[in-house]
Amino acid sequence: MRKSYQLFLTMLLFLLVFTGCSANEQSKKPAEKKQAAPEKSVELTISAAASLQDALTEITSNFNKEHSNVKINYNFGASGALQQQISQGAPVDLFFSAAEDKFDQLVTDGLIEKKNGIDLVGNELVLVVPKDSTKGIKTFEDLAKADKLSIGTPESVPAGKYSKEVLENLTIWNSVEGKIVYAKDVRQVLTYVETGNVDAGIVYKTDALTSTKVEIAATADKKTHTPIVYPVGIIKASSHPNEAMLFYEYLNSNAAMEVFKKYGFKGL
């Protein structure tokens, strides 16, 4: 009887030890990770000045390496025309203007909150001529030699407005006004010069640097025109405010600023 009792105790002790070890081994096993839900894919629409096209294309490519779920669609054009579209209710998430007045109008109208906007980069205005030009245009004053000159439409294209200011301040507007071929945006001005349809054009330095078919004849003195500032901001009625803020913050990053500088823009 005593032996049977001792055998029972031994078996019970063995069972307790075995159960404890099994439980301990189970606790050492890593907990199964729950699979993270995929990020929701969204599309942002950004209205941006035509002169920003090359820089923003590269910046967006870099951004998507980190945020592949955010697809960005661009509407490039003249800042004045883009501002009008937004004012009339176009579904836009961010506005990147080439002129402060166009941007400020949307702030005044309550379509952009001031806290969600910033003057991000600057630019310069240059006179360009075709590479093979024989007109001898080396300065703005030499525009008297041109048969045709192109600038953006001053009422809707900021570069055109700045161009008119330069020509007026240099007192040559009246002598060249009749020769001017107006363009819908600064990229069209560049195309007119590249194709030889005009003898000269006034564009942003950043646009001139993208072309191998034109050369910069002169750079406008900063004192002859309003400072060229590019503000960017989030549209208050954005359908995707969180993703809009994400891209807005990326545009303000050092990585994005390096790309802007690569294309000739100046940090502010």
Encode pLDDT of 73-105 as tens digits: 999 999 999 999 999 999 999 999 999 999 999
Backbone φ and ψ for 80, nearest 5 degrees, come out as -65, -45
Hunting for tokens 């941006």 — which residue is that? Answer: 48
User: What CATH number is given to the structural domain containing 66?
Assistant: 3.40.190.10
Looking at the fold, whether 148 and 172 belong to one and the same domain comes out as: yes
Looking at the fold, whether 208 and 87 belong to one and the same domain comes out as: no
Looking at the fold, whether 217 and 139 belong to one and the same domain comes out as: yes
For residue 177, give the 3-state DSSP assignment: helix
The span from the CA of 145 to the CA of 126, in Å, is: 17
pLDDT exceeds cutoff 50 at 18? no
Looking at the fold, whether 144 and 160 belong to one and the same domain comes out as: yes
The two three-digit tokens of residue 205, written as one number: 């330095």
pLDDT exceeds cutoff 80 at 16? no
Task: Give the pairing of strands 266-267 and 112-122.
Answer: antiparallel
Q: What is the mean pLDDT of the chain?
A: 89
> Domain limits at 248?
42-122+228-267
**Is 25 a member of any domain?**
no
Hunting for tokens 């176009």 — which residue is that? Answer: 90
Looking at the fold, whether 52 and 139 belong to one and the same domain comes out as: no
Residue 11 binned pLDDT confidence (cut-offs 50, 70, 90): low
Looking at the fold, whether 150 and 184 belong to one and the same domain comes out as: yes
Helix residue spans in the chain (DSSP H): 2-28, 53-66, 79-87, 100-108, 158-169, 173-176, 186-194, 205-208, 241-251, 254-262
**Is 202 a member of any domain?**
yes
pLDDT computed for residue 34 by the predictor: 46
